[in-house]
Amino acid sequence: MMMMKISNSISDFMRFYSLWLCRHHYSTNANIATFFSKYVDKNNVFSWNSIIAELARSGDSVEALRAFASMRKLSLRPNRSSFPCAIKSCSALRDLTSGRQVHQQVVIFGYGSDLFASSSLIDMYSKCGKLKDARLLFDEIPQRNVVSWTAMITGYIQSDHACDALLLFKELLVEESESLEEEEVYVDAVALVSVLSACSRVSGKTMTQGVHGFAIKRGLDEHLGVGNTLIDAYAKCSEVGLSSKVFEEMAEKDVISWNSIIAVYAQNGLSSEAIEMFHLLVKDKEVKYNAVTLSTLLLACAHAGALHAGKCIHDQVIKMSLEDNVYVGTSIIDMYCKCGRLEMARKAFNRMKEKNVKSWSAMIAGYGMHGRAKEALEVFYEMNRNGVAPNYITFVSVLAACGHAGLVDEGWYWFRAMEHRFHIQPGLEHYSCMVDLLGRAGFLTKAYDLINEMKVAPDFVVWGSLLSACRMQKNVELAEICANKLFELDPNNCGYYVLLSNIYADAGRWRDAERMRMLMKNHGLTKTPGFSLVELKGLVHVFLVGDREHPQHEKIYAYLEELSIKLQALGYTPNMTSVLHDVDEEEKGMVLQVHSEKLAVAFGIMNSVAGATIHVIKNLRICSDCHTTIKLTTKIVDREIVVRDSKRFHHFKDGLCSCGDYW
C-alpha cells in the first residue's frame, strides 16, 4: 500500500483507515497506534483529536480510549478538544476507572474549569452510578452554562432521582433570573426535554403544566423534542386528552411523535383510537412508520382482543421483513396470546431466531393466563436451559401461572428461589400473585401471614387479592380486615365496597350488604359498568349490561329466551347469590340473563357459521352464573366459546371449562 498523507476530511480519513484495517486483516478493534505509527504525523495532536472524536461518534468507545492512551504515551500535550470525546467513551462503557484517570488528566493540564470537559465528566459520573461525585463536580464549577445544568439534571433522571432533577431546574431558574444580563444562562430546548422527562417520571400534572407554560413563554413549545416529550409527560399523568392536544398542535411531527401518541392510546385502552391514528400516519407521506410503530399497534390489538387487525399488522411485519426483530416478535406473541390464539403465539415464538428475556416471559405469561401452567413451567425450564436469566417480570408470569392452576408447592418453591437462587427481591406483584395463589387454594391464614411478613408495604393490589379470596372461601371476618385496609389505600374505588357487599350477601347479612351500598352512594361512588366485546368479520361489537342499543338487541333477547328453555332442560338453575335481595325471584333471573357476556355470546352464535369458535372479552371477572351458563351452552350449540375476563382466559367446550371451575 502506498504511503499517503491523511486528508483534512475526517470521512476520507476513516475510509482510508477502514481499508487499511481490511487489507492488513485487523479487527475493528485493532490498535490504532499501529496505524498512526505507519501513516500519520503522530506528533499532531489535532489528528489524534479527530480520530478520537470519530471513533467515539461511531460507537467504538474502546478504540477511542486506546487512541487517547496512545496519544498520551507519545507525551503529546492534550488540548481542550482532546477530553470530551474520551470522557464520552468512558460514559458509554460505564468505565469508572478510566473515567477517573481522564478526570485526573483534565485537572493536570488545567482544564478543570472548562465547561465542556466538566459537563462531560458530570455525565460520566452519573452514568457510572456516582451521582454524589457528579454533584460535587457540578457545585465546584465557577461559572456554569446551560450544558452544565442540563448534564446534572439528566444525571439525576438517569439515576431515578426525578424529584432532585426538578429541584435543580428550579435552582437554574433562580440563577437565571438573578444573573447579570451578560452572564445569563438561557434554558434551551435540550434542557427542557430533560426537565419534561423528569416530569413524566414523577407523574405530576401541575409540574408538567408549569413547565409547558414556561416552554410556551420562551417559544420552545414548537421544538420537536419538547413536543414529543410533552406527549409522554401528560400521558404519565393520565391526561390523555392533553397529550392528544399537544400532538394535534405540533407544527412538525416525526415518527417519534406518531409512535408516542399511538402508544398513549394503546397503553390507556383506547385501541380503536390507536389504530385510527395509524391510518392517519399511513396517509402522511412525509413520515414512514417503523418497527416501533407496529410493535405499539400490536399492543393495542392485544388490549382490545382485535385479532383481525392484529393479523393484518402481522402481515405488514412480514412484508417489512421485521419478524426477526426481537421486540416486534415479542409483541406478536403477546397479541396472539391475548387474542386467545395460543397455538399461533407458540408458532411465532418458535420462529424467532433471537429471543430475549421478554420473549420468554411473554410466552410463559401466555400459557399462564390460559390456565396451562404445565406448559408455562416447561417454557420457563427451557429458558433456564438456554442460559437466559429470568428477571422480575419473568417471575411474575411464573407465579401467576401457578396461581391460575392452584400449584401451591411450585409457587412457593419459585417464590423462594427467585431471591435465594436468582438474587431478585420479591416486589408487590410477586406478593400479590402469592397471596392470590394461597388464598384461592384455601390457605387464607398463610396468605394473611405472608402480607404481614412483606419487606415492602402492601398496596391495594395485594389486599385486593386477599379480599377476592375471602369471597371465594366465604371468610367474612378476614374480608372486613382487608376491606378496611383497602378503604384507606384506595378510597375512590367502589369495587371493594361492591365485593364486601357481595360477601355479606353470600353470608345472608343483608343489612350489612345494604350498608355498603349506602356508603358507596354517600361517597358518590359508582360501580364500574360491565361490558363485553366480540369481534366478528373484523368489526368489534360492544355490549353493556342489559344493552338495548345494539341493532340486533331484539333478536338477541329472543334467542336468549329460547336458550334459557334448553338450559333448564339440562338442569340449569340461576345462581342468584349476591343478586339484590329486594327484588323477586323472577326479576333476579332477568338481571342475570342480561349480563354483557351472555349478550355477546348470543350475538356471536347467531352471526357466525356453525362450528366457529366464539371469542369474547369482558372487562370484569366473569360471574359464577355466566360461567355455568356458557359451559352448558357449548353442549347445546356444539361450539367452543373462549372468554377473556379481567383475570384469565376460559375455554368452554363440551360443557366444561379449561379452568376446571377454579378461577
**pLDDT attached to residue 526:** 84
pLDDT in tens, 282-291: 998 889 999 9
**pLDDT attached to residue 203:** 79
Higher local confidence (pLDDT), 597 or 590? 597
Residue 94 pLDDT > 80, yes or no?
Answer: yes
**pLDDT attached to residue 38:** 55
SS3 call for 526:
coil
- Mean pLDDT in residue range 392-418: 96
Cα–Cα distance between 316 and 521 in angstroms, integer?
Answer: 50
Cα–Cα distance between 212 and 88 in angstroms, integer?
Answer: 31
Confirm whether pTM is higher than 0.75.
yes
Higher local confidence (pLDDT), 600 or 528? 600
CA distances to 195, 205, 236, 653 from 201, rounded to whole Å, are 10, 11, 7, 46
**pLDDT attached to residue 32:** 52
Cβ–Cβ under 8 Å, residues 594 and 621: no
Cα–Cα distance between 652 and 455 in angstroms, integer?
Answer: 40
CA distances to 37, 73, 528 from 47, rounded to whole Å, are 12, 15, 68
Of the pLDDT bands very low, low, confident and very high (cuts 50, 70, 90), residue 556 is very high
**pLDDT attached to residue 185:** 60
Exposure b/e, 284-306, CB count within 10 A at least 16 = b: eeebebbbbbbbbbbbbbbbbbb
pLDDT in tens, 7-60: 344 445 544 454 444 344 344 444 554 555 555 556 778 888 888 888 888 888
Residue 470 pLDDT > 90, yes or no?
Answer: yes
**pLDDT attached to residue 74:** 84
**pLDDT attached to residue 22:** 38
pLDDT in tens, 319-330: 999 988 999 999
Torsion, CA 112, CA 118, CA 120, CA 121, rounded to 10? 70
pLDDT in tens, 510-519: 999 999 999 9
- Mean pLDDT in residue range 181-198: 80
Identify residue 443 by its one-letter amino acid code.
F
